[in-house]
Structure 1
């Protein structure tokens, strides 16, 4: 019979075992090996059955076993040591507290993301964005950065994936009970659950409870709309990740952004936690947080423009998408219906909200509301997630800063990193600990001291090679177990599955490919020439084997067809022992897959991979990367530790089939001629010396770079600290001043002109080292010199006379205004490089509270009539 009601019965722990509850509720156990070992020793069989989840373990362990442990002195000593270690970890000073300028750093940062991948025991992630967010929180905890995470609690999480008999993806949405997860409800002083509420059209409301996950030192607040006070439609707002139609998604993002700010305020009120000075929006999904903060300031008698300046100063926006199609966009009328006097944020004019998300650049859709555009307008600081992606983002959003070259668009980059303690296999950690000690190894993985990674050079080749085989052997065992379970789900009986015992070989070169399955990641590029792939898989002396995993979005039938095509190939009896597809890719699978592979394959369409962190996780385990030069690999690739797949850029790129053929052929060539021979060639000692050296170089050179600790330190130093300083300087008076100044400058700008430019050079050639004198007359309209900066911009020019590596030098006012209201500016122009050289003059707005001279998107340049010659040719 089916139960009419479900609830969770929690175990009563003996008093001596109470610290187990604290250890289970702090998700530090997910990356702290000693704590996991302690829980495993409680009951090894139930630990395995609980899929390494301490909360589930404690819910299933027998009272007899608990009583036995309460009398076990050795266990109690281990428990006390683990509890003391956790206390030291969450209360002691760490990197952040040791910074000399710590008083200038933000007291707290609120980090908003639509998904968080902390552990498989808390399935609130779909792919790289969520895993990155989880690693960001963990690294912030390790470094002592005072972060507060904010997200949504999805009652169905992301879907679980199985395959039909013919290889078609099937989605399943398990119901998650928060009481069975490592969460606790945030409660008011009287014990009632805390709530946030959003006003909806038609005098309705959307309420949400706040669940707390403790991620080391970092609190993670997750909003849950499945509460009895909501109508059925509103209860389902947080039903599943990236599900539903446009209005469903809009309500999720309103709850995340607006409700998230309210949840942070509630948490700080109840706990005494410092209020955030900086708000970090991880992709555009949480962009409405800026509107809620503007609405808050409206109660302090700040008008919209002044409040906007105050909010922008302390906001950081990170974009993760390299294509406009990856951005959430909503119908303008849908957005308008959910704001204003009859819905949310009644003190803000709806038209002002709509303007923030309007695509005002050429080719933009005026009837769509763009979440990334709003994020950029509400954040004074913005970044992409790799050096290449920063360049792509500046190009993609350059229309928001008309008149500026893409390189001057104020979007920087912080290359993603991964949390080594989460992703490094225990065997790899133990090898490092034997070399330099456990504490120094842990420090190397969290802080990233390069001298400690250099210690890898002293590890004997034999030890490295034995480690690689152990990890490969573990992967083979894992693959066979998962493959057996998958085939049973597909309807196969025991008699059909004897062949699985021979799947993969721990001595064969193993390639991994696992990620989401949008078309640009090209899951099936490896199938482009199946005869060549067969030759690689079945080579008599140098075979390869491939482990593939990945999920397609439930609405993406194209991605599902790619999976089916790959699965059908892998089902072929000729090759099924050499290539496998594993369904239900997630964190638990990934933690086995990355260490066990020798090669991590990545072949997206360049430059559509914003960063791609799976290869970083593989690298930390000594796995070599074989990838298109995209994302992070474009930035850090060296032949010492991996291979770059040549891309068919240029004319071939216009034909997708032709491009895929060329790049697949290049991939086969690399595997046949360089990768496989290097793995199988043995030196005098019977070891693949050149391969082992590449593993060593991967660890020593890439190790410190790919760490989330390095990434979070960059965020602190380059984005959070400047944002905190800007926030502190933007008091009420300053916000009003800046808003008034911007309004005045925008109104006056049409009359700002460069009227006359003259130089001391009379010819089109000059000597290197020559200094020219520039005299410029400008019209400033109703502005004065304090409102602007007049610059000379010079550098090499291309065939179209565009300055390609310009250097800007401010010119100084030398007189004015004259009778016509023009001002004279003068300054030197140094000819400091040879070759085609050119200069121009421009006028930019300037104010002490601007983060960038491009912030307003205003620039005045000479008219074409003023240009006497394309430039000065130097010899």
Structure 2
């Protein structure tokens, strides 16, 4: 029986990881059945918790139990995207028996804590908060219904449940962490709870660290002071006091800036993102130097072990056969969803990740003449698969998704899949020969999908952004679209530059190599598999957090 009144991690922490940490994140992608994540932030925190478990770190996760998850991605009658919300139920979560209130709009809202034991999915212990309780009125119950609710007040309330609620839960557990780690600024309201607890900023600064994932100023959460005040976000402090504590004047409160001002240490999520963040926040006083810890993914969870075994035994035939089998198996999902039968011997390009405008999902289809030549080429045939979830209220991204669905209807060898969650993500990485990643530079803070593609025998083909800058050796372990002079080019010209080079490299280098030099192609796959195995594996990342940030 777990003792939730004096909680300790249920394994003996390794001596170098004995410092206790509470890790706050709005989303965790631990395993397919637990649908409380949307995209990269969740995939990252999920891998972090798995590595913390493998390394026996003294770390617990604090998140929210989203009743309807992010959303279920299904189709309308014409195959276009439909967002649907179903109630999720989890028999594997443990009721801690802990309940307490958090003031929202000056009214007490009841919060209940659920627990994911480490052994269930081999992850560090995870506590999940819910307001979906009979003690609450209907509006309060809905706070923890949908991840990233589009209503501003609802989203602020969600941030308060994570921040104030998470900090309160830790006191209920009597866990007393040495470090409070905010993964993004969603849990920032915790600092006002901690101000009440410790009485001054210096005491919090000894304990708080912050990871930012946003490479541009506009992407950081900001809200009107009066709205936050009305919602009790400052936990009893007045606007004037909150302004004084955070040093943020005016009418608008910047969550990330406040987090930086309360943090003892802070970090970006790739070396490039560290540089971009230092420039971005350089003009602000009273913030720590922003270090860089490059995001990573958990090899044990993601990698195809057979592929690695064949590579290590230098069994080329076994290796090729295994990759072909992985493609064939993944293509059964494509056939099931779209009625299209793909060929495991044909070069397969996959673009799959969160659907956001800056990631340019449809870049390759921007020049229709070239696109048609590419997909109709009988000398070097290709197959293309798209997948990914747009934010359900991002109508621009949804319209791009739907335009690709309509485009795919014209070709036997082009498909768009729905339901892009952990399981489909892994399968599509196994399906890929080429993992296409073309965000507009320098807008991708890290972008980790390519790491897990490499772990499954996919070759990265990417713009020079995020983690790729630390990994890339063009023509040796991946292919890179050369960097444009993005600071001086218009967005249209930058897109055109990237599109031209994408086609030049695809048609001039990638296709001829795949079809006429299998040995060299295999070498490139294996170099990528080798290079991600250690440098971009989340054990390395989890160690670095202890060495650089929690120290």
Question: For this structure pair, what is the TM-score category when the shorter chain's length is used for normalisation?
Answer: over 0.9
- Alpha-carbon offset, residue 657 of structure 1: 2.1
Q: Hey, what's the Cα distance between the residues in 1 that align with 2:239 and 2:53?
A: 39
Alignment match, 2:116: 213
Alignment match, 1:872: none
Contact preservation (8 Å) 1:182, 1:213: yes
- Alpha-carbon offset, residue 214 of structure 1: 1.7
3-state SS of paired residue (2:143):
coil
Contact preservation (8 Å) 2:461, 2:480: yes
Distance 1:651 1:249, change over 3 A: closer
Q: How does 1:248-263 map to 2 (within 5 A)?
A: 248-263=154-169
Alignment match, 1:712: 542
Alignment match, 1:415: 294
Distance 1:594 1:217, change over 3 A: closer
Alignment match, 1:476: 331
Alignment match, 1:158: 70
Alignment match, 2:207: 314
Alignment match, 2:5: none
Q: Hey, what's the Cα distance between the residues in 2 that align with 1:513 and 1:674?
A: 19
Moved over 4 A (4+): 355-360
Deviations 1:621-673 (A, max 9, x none): 2211000000000122112101111233247622x222212211110111101
Find out whether 1:183 has 2:93 as its counterpart.
Answer: yes
Contact preservation (8 Å) 1:600, 1:615: yes
Alignment match, 1:585: 420
Q: Hey, what's the Cα distance between the residues in 2 that align with 1:420 and 1:457?
A: 16
Q: Hey, what's the Cα distance between the residues in 2 that align with 1:296 and 1:266?
A: 13
Query: Which of 340, 345, 348 matches 2:235?
Result: 345
Q: How does 1:70-85 map to 2 (within 5 A)?
A: none
Q: Hey, what's the Cα distance between the residues in 2 that align with 1:517 and 1:480?
A: 22
Q: Hey, what's the Cα distance between the residues in 2 that align with 1:518 and 1:529?
A: 20
Q: Hey, what's the Cα distance between the residues in 1 that align with 2:430 and 2:80?
A: 28
- Alpha-carbon offset, residue 233 of structure 1: 1.2
Query: Which of 269, 292, 304 matches 2:193?
Result: 292
Query: Which of 20, 30, 44 matches 1:132?
Result: 44
Alignment match, 2:350: 512
Contact preservation (8 Å) 1:254, 1:286: yes
Contact preservation (8 Å) 1:457, 1:696: no
Deviations 1:484-518 (A, max 9, x none): 4xxxxxxxxxxxxxxx3xx2111001111111111
- Alpha-carbon offset, residue 150 of structure 1: 0.3
Q: Gapped runs of 5+ residues in structure 2?
A: 3-8
Distance 1:90 1:419, change over 3 A: farther
Contact preservation (8 Å) 1:115, 1:129: yes
Q: How does 1:95-494 map to 2 (within 5 A)?
A: 96-97=14-15, 102=16, 106-166=18-78, 168-177=80-89, 180-187=90-97, 194-202=98-106, 204-215=107-118, 216=122, 218-268=124-174, 274-298=175-199, 307-339=200-232, 345-346=235-236, 348-356=237-245, 359=248, 366-401=250-285, 410-428=289-307, 432=309, 456=311, 458-484=313-339
3-state SS of paired residue (1:110):
strand
Distance 1:370 1:241, change over 3 A: same
3-state SS of paired residue (2:23):
strand
Contact preservation (8 Å) 2:266, 2:288: no
Q: Hey, what's the Cα distance between the residues in 1 that align with 2:470 and 2:154?
A: 38
Alignment match, 1:625: 460
- Alpha-carbon offset, residue 702 of structure 1: 2.6
Q: Hey, what's the Cα distance between the residues in 1 that align with 2:79 and 2:224?
A: 37
Q: Hey, what's the Cα distance between the residues in 2 that align with 1:331 and 1:358?
A: 15
What RMSD in Å do the two structures reach over aligned CA positions?
A: 2.2
Q: How does 1:621-770 map to 2 (within 5 A)?
A: 621-639=456-474, 640-650=476-486, 653-654=489-490, 656-682=491-517, 688-721=518-551
Contact preservation (8 Å) 1:160, 1:171: yes
Contact preservation (8 Å) 1:517, 1:551: yes
3-state SS of paired residue (1:689):
helix
3-state SS of paired residue (1:369):
strand
TM-score by length of 1: 0.60
Q: Hey, what's the Cα distance between the residues in 1 that align with 2:505 and 2:539?
A: 33
Q: Gapped runs of 5+ residues in structure 1?
A: 1-21, 26-88, 188-193, 269-273, 299-306, 361-365, 403-407, 436-455, 485-499, 683-687, 722-875
- Alpha-carbon offset, residue 458 of structure 1: 4.4
Distance 1:236 1:358, change over 3 A: farther
Q: Give the structure, 1 or 2, with the largest relative contact order (CA under 8 Å, sep 6 or more).
A: 2
Alignment match, 1:771: none
Deviations 1:717-745 (A, max 9, x none): 11112xxxxxxxxxxxxxxxxxxxxxxxx
Query: Which of 394, 399, 407 matches 1:569?
Result: 407
Contact preservation (8 Å) 2:150, 2:393: no
Distance 1:356 1:481, change over 3 A: farther
Q: Hey, what's the Cα distance between the residues in 2 that align with 1:333 and 1:92?
A: 46
Alignment match, 2:379: 541
Deviations 1:572-603 (A, max 9, x none): 1xx2x211100121111112111221111100
3-state SS of paired residue (2:467):
helix
Alignment match, 1:19: none
Alignment match, 1:837: none
Q: Hey, what's the Cα distance between the residues in 1 that align with 2:92 and 2:333?
A: 26
TM-score by length of 2: 0.94
Contact preservation (8 Å) 1:139, 1:712: yes
- Alpha-carbon offset, residue 230 of structure 1: 1.0
Deviations 1:662-688 (A, max 9, x none): 211110111101001111114xxxxx1
Contact preservation (8 Å) 1:209, 1:223: yes
Alignment match, 2:447: 612
Q: Hey, what's the Cα distance between the residues in 2 that align with 1:619 and 1:201?
A: 48
Distance 1:556 1:355, change over 3 A: farther
Deviations 1:115-154 (A, max 9, x none): 1111111100000001111111111000011111001111
Please identify the structure whose Cα radius of gyration is greater. Answer: 1
Deviations 1:47-82 (A, max 9, x none): xxxxxxxxxxxxxxxxxxxxxxxxxxxxxxxxxxxx
Q: Hey, what's the Cα distance between the residues in 1 that align with 2:135 and 2:10?
A: 36
Number of equivalent positions: 541
Deviations 1:361-414 (A, max 9, x none): xxxxx3111111111011110000000111111111122139xxxxx9710110
Deviations 1:319-367 (A, max 9, x none): 001122222211110112234xxx8633x4442323455656xxxxx31
Q: Hey, what's the Cα distance between the residues in 1 that align with 2:402 and 2:253?
A: 36
3-state SS of paired residue (1:551):
coil
Contact preservation (8 Å) 1:424, 1:595: no
Q: Hey, what's the Cα distance between the residues in 1 that align with 2:125 and 2:326?
A: 34
Contact preservation (8 Å) 2:184, 2:210: yes
